[in-house]
Amino acid sequence: MECRGAIFDMDGLLFDTERVYQETWEEIAEERGVKLGRGFTREISGTTGERSCCIVERYYHVSNGNDIRKECMNRVKEKLNRSVPMKSGVHEILGFFREKGIPTAVASSNGMEQIESNLEKAGIRDYFTEVVSGVEVANGKPAPDIFLLAAERLNCAPGECFVFEDSENGIKAGHAAGCMTVMVPDLMEASPEILPYCTMVCSDLIQAREEIQKFDRDK
């Protein structure tokens, strides 16, 4: 299948912000005397809305996780207003798609204001034809909604799009949408269970660009 579009997650994929989120979740948990198990990171990464609230409720032992989720988002926003750390290989892979004339989109669970702010601060907003926020869809990752919408806005069939993700929830969403999925693990290695959902797994975006170039030659 020819690649006609590329869709990128943001936190943990373009920016080293997933670490900021996890540190903030831990801060709030410590303040509340809660010990978060390692499973929390895998479950919460890439989620939004009702699903993330349910995960927070289970791990923080509260009946309503929305207040904790909002507190985390507010603290992270303050931190990212000071600095947005970029992952290695971002300019290289975005430049590759620009040279090939392939349109790109960001599809993030974040609100649009935070997405746009991060992209502008990092100086990479102009690379992207479309920006899609998790608040624009009914169901968050691992549901496919956000990637289906991103592909539609790129005027591509989902099967013609690469989806770049660091989280297992994101990979499941991309796979469910019918996209070609590239996993670039961030805080946690790819589990054996997620490998069948991946078109390829790469150590960083530099390797991802190299593998996409091979894919392009071999197709």
Mean pLDDT by 10 residues, the chain (219 residues): 92 91 94 91 84 93 94 92 90 97 96 94 96 94 96 97 96 98 93 96 97 75
φ, ψ of residue 59 to 5 degrees: the values are: -85, -30
213 in Cβ contact with 100 (< 8 Å): no
> How far is the C-alpha of 85 from the C-alpha of 206, rounded, in Å?
17
- What is the pLDDT at residue 51? 87
**Spatial distance between the Cα atoms of 178 and 172, rounded to a whole number of angstroms:** 10
DSSP state, 206? H
pLDDT at residue 142, rounded to an integer: 93
What is the C-alpha to C-alpha distance for residues 104 and 54, in angstroms, rounded to an integer?
32
Give the model's pLDDT for residue 56.
Answer: 95
- Do 7 and 179 touch, CB atoms closer than 8 A? yes
Q: What is the dihedral of CA 155, 163, 139, 188, to 10 degrees?
A: -170
